[in-house]
Chain A
Amino acid sequence: MTLLMQEVLGGLVLGSIYSLVAMGLTLVYGVMEIPNFAHGHLYMLGAYITWFLLVSAHFGYWPATLAAAVVLSGIGALLEWVVFRPLRNAPQVHAMIASVGVMLFLEALAQWLWGPDFQRMPTPYGRVLNAGPFTVSEQQLVVIAAAIVCMSLLYLFLKHTPLGMAIEAVAQNRTGARLVGIRTHRISLITFGLSAALASIAASLIAPIHLIFPAMGTMVIMKAFAIIVIGGMGSIPGAIAGGYILALAESIGGAYVSTNYQDVIAFALLALILFLRPSGLFTKGV
């Protein structure tokens, strides 16, 4: 029972991160219809920038997290402007290939700037709390709470601000949104920035628990793709639910079946769901 509880806790922590990353991915997909293969590498870059600000510039943990998110939103917006906007009317495959190019570039860039070694991020929440046989680190609680705060803020932003509603409108129908005077290019730019910022926050949150290395985004992005396909591409509630479902399946499956095949679970689940329901489990709608 303790083992199960411990695995559920681990699953919730991982699920918080998966959900944040998948939300950004699905947001960009909903608005621009681009599966951004570089999204995981924006996550990686967020982790490195946070780490750099903490260790070399002596920022506090939260200022570093926020500053990294701001930097990443700038990088995301730049990518939309330079790479993806010119490909808007090209065949779908072209934007996907361009995002693969961005991904390869970012990984090499991180390796060049910071080397291939693993880095550990310091955290002010390093203590471990014990409750009987049950152990939990402060950072794990911080991850879960911060993810909930981010999701709530994103919900309020999308549902109750004019800008957020404009994003939703573009996701629902780009041409229609243009017709009523929404500047779709600007919305794409903002969406890309927002999505990169979400990835960066997720990375800053989990980095003190996991390690930082140039390829850290690869597995995360594939998991995030699995999640948004499971949740229905473009659906934010789907991304949140999918993130927690996948993480819980992984950590519980890893504990009771085999840690060796933990990563296979995600993709087997994805293949199964696509086989049964090619359009995803949840219906579309941001």
Chain B
Amino acid sequence: MAKFQSLKDAVAENLRDGDTVAFEGFTHLIPHAAAHEAIRQGRRDLTLIRMTPDIIYDQMIGMGLAKTVIFSYAGNPGVGLLRRMRDAIENEWPRAIETVEHSHAAMANAYEAGAAGLPCAVFRGYRGAGLKDVNPAIKSVTCPFTGEELAAVPAHRPDVSFIHAQKANRRGDVLVEGIVGVQKEALLAAKRAVVTVEEIVEDFDDLHPNLCVLPHWTVTAIAHVPGGAHPSYTHGYYPRDNAAYLEWDKISADRDLFTTWMKANVLDVSPEVFASRVEAL
């Protein structure tokens, strides 16, 4: 049953050291505010799952929260490489991390299998691909009906998933629209689900009947954090702050600059700053 609480309390109650956690969002609706709260609370030894680990995982890895990263594309979208993640992989700074690498198809299928309560996902993939040789979690099964060899990967079953969404109603039902990504699957695959929202409205009575709504009983906690996806965007609320993504390339290129930036913009602030960050957009 969805519990309305502050982001600080929602993170404190649902994210523990050593957890396997997904902060999902596919360019759109990336839960930046929730990730920053996890950084402020200093969680450790996390296994981070994400199709497209971008700035927030770069920040979490650079601040030493991550033990393992399970991913399929580690880049700053449209800009370049993830410099903090590279520094951890190439130079073990600030600590060594383990990487478990998949393709997008495998990750999407693994979330869907998790949401469906299956132990693994089966799909036509990885043919001729080198990842099969370096990731022991990629296996194959033979179709019992046709004999076709198909790829199999374990289902994702995060301890907790964090997503950002447009709206919740007073009951705690959650609306996601626009590029919906893999958030519904990530949330339903997880043991606990925390959602930050732009807005809390009375009810969803006037909505189109087929919109993506996650019923309140699938959500553990909801925190009202306007602007909580910035510099990602929320369809219908504010656009993507492309300049901030470009700027991150410079900030993340230098360890000292990164550390100073994180102190000023993450450690020393609270979730309320996100609303002001999107005002000028």
Same complex for A and B? Answer: no
Residue ranges of A at the interface with B (Cβ–Cβ < 8 Å): none
Residue ranges of B at the interface with A (Cβ–Cβ < 8 Å): none
